[in-house]
Amino acid sequence: MTLHRRTLLASPAALLAMPAIAQQAPIKIGVLAPLTGVLASGGREMVDGVTLFVEQAGNKFAGRNVELIVEDDGSNPDTALQKARRLVEQAKVDFLMGNLLANTGLAVAGYVRGTGTPYFIPIIAADELTQRGRIPNVVRVAGYSASQTAHPLGDWAAKQGYKKVATIGQDYTFGHEQCAGFSRVFSNAGGQIVRQFWHPLNTSDFSPYLGQLASLGVDAVFAMETGADATRFIQQYANFGLKQRIPLMGAMNTTDQSVIRTLGAECEGIVSAAHFAEGADVPATKTFVEEHVKRFNRIPSLYGFAMYCGTMWVAKALEKIGGRAEDRAALLTAVRETELDNSPLGRPVKLDSFGNPVYDIYIRRVVRRPDGKFWNVPFASYPAVSQFWNYSPEQYMAQSPYSRDNQYIRQN
Amino acid sequence: MKRQLAWLLVLLAAAALPLLLSSYHVDLATRILIFAVLAMSIDVLAGFVGRTSLCHGAIFGVATYVVIWASAKAGWAALPAMAAGVLAATLVAALFGVLAVRTRGVYFLLLTVALGMVVWGVCLRWTTVTGGENGLRGQDMRPALLVARENFYWLVLAVAALCSWGMWRFVNSPFGLSLRGIRDSESRMRALGYNVPLHLFVGFAVSGFFAGVAGAMYAFFNEYVSPTSVAMAQSVAGLLMAIVGGVGTLFGSFIGAAAIILLENTVSWYTDRWQSVLGLVFIFTMIFAPEGILGGLRRLAASKGRTR
Amino acid sequence: MGMNSFQLLNGLTFAALLFIVASGFTLIFGLLRIVNLAHGALYLLGGYLGYSTAIATGSFALGVLAAMLGVALVGLLLDQTLLRFVRGHELRQVLLSLGVALVLNDLALVVWGGDSFTVPTPDLLQGAVPVLDTFYPKYRLFVLATGVVTFIALWLLLNRTRLGALIRAGVDDAEMVEASGVNIRRVFLATFVLGSALAGLGGVMGGAFLALYPSADAEILVFSLAVVVIGGRGSLEGAAIGAVLVGLLNTMGQVWFPELAYFVIFGPMAALLAFRPLGLLGRAV
């Protein structure tokens, strides 16, 4: 497989030649990922995930060749929008996949709303995209909504007997939604959210927050961090001696493989909730992790996993419709109806009627492997968790969405 | 007369572009025009007042924010929203002007960096209004007539042409000539009785007005704004376009904007190393062609004229 | 909530790092009149070099050494090659250094990838110790000490050596120094290399508690700009005062006015520049 744009310049005329030949033309997939900027490493792993699946599929979906066109969104919504335009209008891709940061995803979603291009978002977790503000051609294949995994963690924390918890999170939608999911369920189960801290993305020095966290007298802390912020937070949390004193819980991205890969003992023992755990004792997961390590010499992160499964999902849908990627309506219907039963999760997954998957959610802990590396190992599980937790979709969506000011914290 | 005819031809050629280009390239051309106006507004200061600004991206972005906020959050119609955006940008520029008139050279540059950072910081952190990292999204902001991208392109072309004419008149007016006098020797102008700070202030505000017009057009073009639109990278891009085109040439900005945007568009097909390419363009321009493309052409023409 | 000793220490340790980085910046700015916008990139490069060396050799000290030497070499090359072409043109130098920053950062991304790394510290500096009425990480206290030592060393260099005397004289009037028969170019070069090495030192120091990642360069650069602008071009004491002010403002801003955190630093800086364009201790040329 040639994973580069150069291939695109090969012979544009040939692609337009005849309808009969068009059937044989490759399926064009536009992949958007942050290859430069703060999230460059996550972006590279996204591309790895897609590449791994396409290679394993022999570079063919439903008998048609697959052409990946990868564009760098620069971790920047303006760039993402510009590149999405280019993929759709100039490269004429059949569908778009990817993006990592919520703001890049929202920008691209706003654009495809107008063009009708199918847009699959295995990483973009903004609740709204599969709830009140859903767009018919935007589907979260193999992804998750931000608060989906935070809800069960809030329940678990309450059952641990934690009475007082503080949250700290990045000050943007993804952070607001996860903290709200956690805080809502935890406080409704009788816990008390003592205080919530919001800090800008790319906070280099957490010491001002750590100083305040230390003096609150809480039983545990919930941290919603991504990328370099997560690295720094975990490290500084340990350096300031808080690790021994206050148990730390994290959003799944806080202890994702992309973060703990470069960390040492600081990350050991942090508890998080997620639908995927690279250290799960499940044959399908083990096989996937082994193959990923063999190909890229890295334990897969959530980014690699999600893009791998997302591509698998779309490929399966394409098989059902005979590879007619140009038929947008058929592709979207097929994707929505597909039940993924052979993914690395090792359990079947399908979408709810709003285009978001329903998962068994693991509660997992960061554990040291015999080789000294760290990974997430599950020790408890919540079955069939939808994005609406145990509320009905109607009841859930009648309330205003989670936001910084809408955290649904019950005062106990 | 000949000159006016030439300009008319250029304008007609630009207006004919959508008939030849794909819709994607029409968007690209629209983007070039918008950024050319931004680059020109920077050139008004850099080329004719001798003040290199690194906060015009922020002024541009203020207009974009205000237009989208007014349209999406306050529900204003396109025209009042646009007016509000340009007004806000001009006011911000005027405020910056008050602070900046006492400085020059690298100090002016540093001060404008700081002012730009303030705008960026406010957009990033004042989440209740600006949406923070998420930015603001507008929907169907353009009036029905302008939804088609060709129509929007023609509007932007008309506005860009008007702005160019306006800026050209400004720098060649008696007031503009005194600004050039300040650029060449501040002390002499002061001795001649000119109110130097007032001149600089007005120059800054006028330049900010045009940056605001560009930012407002960008709001309708992109229908989305986030802190990256007011970040320093935006100011850097605008300045680079002005420099590549040729500082002090004004219209060189069109060439500069086209060169940078087309280069970015082409290069990123082949490599992810766009940042390196941009950096190298900076380095090579500074070393080999500090007078920019149009500046270089003019010098060539002038030296030929002399030898003849 | 008051400014307790914990927050005070946070502000001061951050200030120490800022001083290490900004002192190099201000020396170069003061003597060579170059606003080196690649200074942040040099910081990041130093951090990465220090990280790789420390991982390979297991020694933090060797990491520091490698970073300072490596970045000093880059500084030397920069001064002898690219900057040669634009000597004497203030603005062209600034913009050229901006281009250098873009290229260096992109190269670092290619070589080290986008993961965030933390320079490993020796066991001796891990953990926390009781300070005043609180526990405080040893490493951050070490950074504070390094900042103070750097200040003293630079002060001695500037005030007690011939090179220092030349640099100080050069900051005030480079032409006078040259006229007195000194090869001012050599002094310029030494200053540029020294300033770069300080950026490299800062990179390792900061890389061990703030982590290294793409865009870390821009963050530290912006803070250093604020320090130098507040303190005044070429003034070591100014840089120290500026660093303490910015360090404390940054901590207070995040604690008390999270929504206005940046404004708290850059608002005062802009106001100061407008009324004292040369900074607190800067002198007119």
Q: For B34-52, how does the pLDDT look when each residue is reduced to its tens digit (9 = 90+)?
A: 999 999 999 999 999 999 9
Asked if the Cβ–Cβ distance from B114 to C35 is below 8 Å, we say no
Chain B nearest-CA distance from C268, in A, is 10
In this complex, the chains that touch A, judged by 3 or more CB pairs closer than 8 A, are B, C
Distance CA A153, CA A274 (A): 9
The mean pLDDT value for C89-103 works out to: 89
Pick B103's closest partner by Cβ from C98, C226, C273: C273
> pLDDT, tens digit, for every residue of C12-32?
999 999 999 999 999 998 888
Backbone angles phi, psi at C103, to 5 degrees: -65, -45
Pick A211's closest partner by Cβ from C6, C210, C211: C6
- Residue A253 structure tokens: 């991205």
Chosen from B283, B288, B291 to mutate, greatest number of chain C CBs within 10 A? B283
Which residue is closest to A233 within chain C, CA to CA? Answer: C210
**DSSP 8-state symbol, A340:** B
Asked if the Cβ–Cβ distance from A72 to B272 is below 8 Å, we say yes
User: Is residue A155 pLDDT above 60, yes or no?
Assistant: yes
Residue-level pLDDT at A14: 41
User: Is residue C263 pLDDT above 80, yes or no?
Assistant: no
Name chain A contacts of B27, Cβ cutoff 8 Å.
Answer: 85, 89
Residue spans per domain, chain A = 5-146+283-344, 150-280+360-398
Chosen from C110, C111, C118, C143 to mutate, greatest number of chain A CBs within 10 A? C118
Fold agreement between A5-146+283-344 and A150-280+360-398: yes
Confirm whether the ipTM is greater than 0.90: no
User: Is residue A204 pLDDT above 80, yes or no?
Assistant: no
Nearest to C235 by CA among C174, C175, C151, C160: C151
Q: In terms of C-beta distances under 8 Å and separation of at least 24 residues, what long-range contacts does B246-249 make, across chains too?
A: B246/B291, B246/B292, B246/B293, B246/B294, B246/B295, B246/B296, B246/B298, B247/B43, B247/B46, B247/B47, B247/B291, B247/B292, B247/B295, B248/B43, B248/B46, B248/B47, B248/B48, B248/B295, B249/B43, B249/B47, B249/B292, B249/B294, B249/B295, B249/B298
Which residue is closest to A34 within chain C, CA to CA? Answer: C114
Name chain B contacts of A5, Cβ cutoff 8 Å.
Answer: 269-270
Chain A nearest-CA distance from C7, in A, is 6
Backbone angles phi, psi at C141, to 5 degrees: -65, -35
Residue-level pLDDT at C238: 92
Residue-level pLDDT at C200: 97
The mean pLDDT value for A205-211 works out to: 84
Asked if the Cβ–Cβ distance from B137 to A106 is below 8 Å, we say yes
Share the mean pLDDT of chain C.
88
Q: How confident is the model at residue C63 (pLDDT cuts 50, 70, 90)?
A: very high
User: Do residues B54 and B100 make contact, with C-beta atoms less than 8 angstroms apart?
Assistant: no
Name chain A contacts of B274, Cβ cutoff 8 Å.
Answer: 36, 72
Asked if the Cβ–Cβ distance from B125 to A171 is below 8 Å, we say yes
Backbone angles phi, psi at A364, to 5 degrees: -130, 160
Residue A119 β-bridge partners:
A96, A138
Asked if the Cβ–Cβ distance from A204 to C258 is below 8 Å, we say no
Which residue is closest to B129 within chain C, CA to CA? Answer: C259
Asked if the Cβ–Cβ distance from C214 to A236 is below 8 Å, we say no
Chosen from B275, B278, B284, B285 to mutate, greatest number of chain C CBs within 10 A? B275
Partner C contacted by A39 (CB < 8 A): yes
> pLDDT, tens digit, for every residue of B103-150?
888 888 888 888 888 898 888 878 788 888 778 888 888 888 888 889
Name chain B contacts of A405, Cβ cutoff 8 Å.
Answer: 128
Q: At what angle do helices C39-57 and C60-80 cross, to 10 degrees?
A: 140
Neighbour count for residue B126 (Cβ, 10 Å): 14
Distance CA C185, CA B261 (A): 39
Query: Cα dist. A130→A338, B139, B140 in Å?
Result: 17, 19, 21
Which residue is closest to C126 within chain A, CA to CA? Answer: A239
Partner B contacted by A66 (CB < 8 A): no
Block residue for tokens 């009788």: A190
Which residue is closest to A33 within chain B, CA to CA? Answer: B272
The mean pLDDT value for A89-105 works out to: 91
Q: How confident is the model at residue B151 (pLDDT cuts 50, 70, 90)?
A: very high
**CA torsion sign, C135 to C139 to C142 to C144?**
negative
Distance CA C249, CA B232 (A): 22
Chain B nearest-CA distance from A48, in A, is 15
Please tell me the least confidently modeled range out of A197-211, A257-271, A307-321.
A197-211
Asked if the Cβ–Cβ distance from C10 to A205 is below 8 Å, we say yes
Q: What is the domain class of A150-280+360-398 according to CATH?
A: alpha beta
Block residue for tokens 């931000």: A146
Partner C contacted by A56 (CB < 8 A): no
Chain C nearest-CA distance from A3, in A, is 18
Residue-level pLDDT at B294: 83
Chain A nearest-CA distance from B269, in A, is 6
- Pairing between strand A192-199 and A220-224? unpaired
> pLDDT, tens digit, for every residue of A286-340?
999 999 999 999 999 999 999 999 999 999 999 999 999 999 999 999 999 999 9
Residue-level pLDDT at A15: 42
- Residue B192 structure tokens: 């001649």
Pick B24's closest partner by Cβ from A35, A36, A85: A85
- Residue B31 structure tokens: 């983007």
Name chain A contacts of B132, Cβ cutoff 8 Å.
Answer: 171-172
User: Is residue A32 pLDDT above 80, yes or no?
Assistant: yes
Share the mean pLDDT of chain A.
89
Chain C nearest-CA distance from B233, in A, is 11
CATH number of C5-275: 1.10.3470
Partner C contacted by B129 (CB < 8 A): no
Name chain A contacts of B127, Cβ cutoff 8 Å.
Answer: 171, 404
Q: How confident is the model at residue A4 (pLDDT cuts 50, 70, 90)?
A: very low
Pick C263's closest partner by Cβ from B106, B122, B276: B122
Block residue for tokens 């990139």: C41
> pLDDT, tens digit, for every residue of C177-207?
888 888 888 888 999 999 999 999 999 999 9
Name chain A contacts of C220, Cβ cutoff 8 Å.
Answer: 204
CB contacts under 8 A, C 157-196 vs A, are none
Asked if the Cβ–Cβ distance from A40 to C210 is below 8 Å, we say no
Pick C118's closest partner by Cβ from A40, A41, A231: A231
Chain B nearest-CA distance from A295, in A, is 22
Partner C contacted by B114 (CB < 8 A): yes
Chain B nearest-CA distance from C21, in A, is 17
User: Is residue A8 pLDDT above 50, yes or no?
Assistant: no
Greatest CA separation found in chain B? 65
User: Is residue C3 pLDDT above 70, yes or no?
Assistant: no
Three-class DSSP labels, chain C: CCCCHHHHHHHHHHHHHHHHHHHHHHHHHHHHCCCCCCHHHHHHHHHHHHHHHHHHHCCHHHHHHHHHHHHHHHHHHHHHCHHHHHCCCHHHHHHHHHHHHHHHHHHHHHHHCCCCECCCCCHHHCCEEEECCEEEEHHHHHHHHHHHHHHHHHHHHHHHCHHHHHHHHHHHCHHHHHHCCCCHHHHHHHHHHHHHHHHHHHHHHHHCCCCECCCHHHHHHHHHHHHHHHHCCCCHHHHHHHHHHHHHHHHHHHHHCHHHHHHHHHHHHHHHHHHCCCCCCCCCC
Residue-level pLDDT at A202: 77
User: Do residues A250 and A374 make contact, with C-beta atoms less than 8 angstroms apart?
Assistant: no
Which of B303 and A235 is assigned the larger pLDDT? A235
Share of chain B above pLDDT 90, in %: 50
Residues in chain C: 285
Pick B127's closest partner by Cβ from A86, A106, A171: A171
Residue B208: CA atoms inside 13 Å, Cβ hemisphere, count?
Answer: 28
User: Do residues B153 and B26 make contact, with C-beta atoms less than 8 angstroms apart?
Assistant: yes
> pLDDT, tens digit, for every residue of C106-141?
999 899 987 888 899 898 888 778 877 777 888 999
Q: Is residue B162 one of the residues assigned to a domain?
A: yes
Which of C174 and A342 is assigned the larger pLDDT? A342
Share the mean pLDDT of chain B.
90
Residue-level pLDDT at A18: 41
Q: Is residue B70 one of the residues assigned to a domain?
A: yes
- Residue C207 structure tokens: 């890389």
Q: Is B30 exposed, middle or buried (0-12, 13-18, 19+ CB in 10 A)?
A: buried
Which residue is closest to B267 within chain A, CA to CA? Answer: A5
Residue-level pLDDT at C1: 39
> pLDDT, tens digit, for every residue of B194-251?
898 999 999 999 999 999 999 999 999 988 898 888 988 889 899 999 999 999 999 9
Asked if the Cβ–Cβ distance from A207 to C14 is below 8 Å, we say yes
Interface of B with A (CB under 8 A): 22-25, 27, 124-125, 127-128, 132-135, 137, 139, 222-224, 226, 228-229, 265, 268-270, 272, 274-275
> What count of CB pairs under 8 Å joins A to C?
101
The mean pLDDT value for A211-223 works out to: 91
Chain C nearest-CA distance from B108, in A, is 9
Partner B contacted by A116 (CB < 8 A): no
Name chain C contacts of B243, Cβ cutoff 8 Å.
Answer: 95
Residue-level pLDDT at B101: 84
Three-class SS state of A216: coil
Residues A5-146+283-344, CATH architecture? 3-Layer(aba) Sandwich (3.40)
